[in-house]
Amino acid sequence: MNASKPFTEFHPRWFRQRPSTYWWLWKWAYLRFVLRELSSLAVAWCVVLTLLQARALAAGAAPYADLQDWLRTPWVALLNAVCLSFLMFHSITWFQLAPRAMVVRLGGWRVPDALIIAGNFAAWFAASAAVAWLALGAGR
């Protein structure tokens, strides 16, 4: 206890106003932050969809065709389109943030942020192309 500091027996409560639950709605930077966080729901949905596809594929041609029919219903297609835009948002923001989370040095030379970002985008396109090539070429 520092004796030189004045001491009050009953410490006053700090005045802190609780921000509104919707604090993130009124500024684009905050909204962007919350939308980016919500993109995780699209990630979870994509996992569920992948598991459903795997189960249908293993179950046979008829269950697989049923799943394709279900994926064609308007609300599922709309949900997938919305989720895809959230996933793109996640990818773009993730790759742009990468240089701040990870500084790459090559023999004392710090690789510029722009180069890391460009490398990330190149890896994204290469991985997407590889998946598309494998998936669409299956059985041909």
Partner 1 sequence: MKRPIEPLLWGLFSAGGVVAALLMPVHLFLFGLAIPLGWLEPPSFEGLQSLAAHPLARLYLFVLCSLPLFHWAHRFRFTLYDGLQIKHLNEVISAVCYGGAILGTFVAGYVFLVSR
**Residue 111 binds partner 1 (CB under 8 A):** no
> Using CB under 8 A as the criterion, what x/- string covers residues 30-49 for binding partner 1?
----x--xxxxxxxx-xx-x
For the chain, give the secondary structure using H, E and C: CCCCCCCCCCCCCCCCCCCCCCHHHCCHHHHHHHHHHHHHHHHHHHHHHHHHHHHHHHHCHHHHHHHHHHHHCHHHHHHHHHHHHHHHHHHHHHHHHHHHHCCCEECCEECCHHHHHHHHHHHHHHHHHHHHHHHHCCCC
**Tokens 């030379």 -> residue:** 109
**Residue 122 binds partner 1 (CB under 8 A):** no
Joined tokens for residue 54: 């795997």
Q: Among residues 5 and 140, whose Cβ is nearest to partner 1? A: 140
Q: Which of 32, 57, 110, 118 binds partner 1 (CB under 8 A)?
A: 57
Q: Which of 61, 105, 107, 114 binds partner 1 (CB under 8 A)?
A: 61
> Using CB under 8 A as the criterion, what x/- string covers residues 62-101 for binding partner 1?
--x---x--xx----x--xx-xx--xx-xx--xx-----x
Number of neighbours of residue 111 by Cβ within 10 angstroms: 14
**Residue 17 binds partner 1 (CB under 8 A):** no
Binding site for partner 1 (CB under 8 A): 18-19, 21, 24, 34, 37-44, 46-47, 49-51, 53-55, 57-58, 61, 64, 68, 71-72, 77, 80-81, 83-84, 87-88, 90-91, 94-95, 101, 123-124, 127-128, 131-132, 134-140
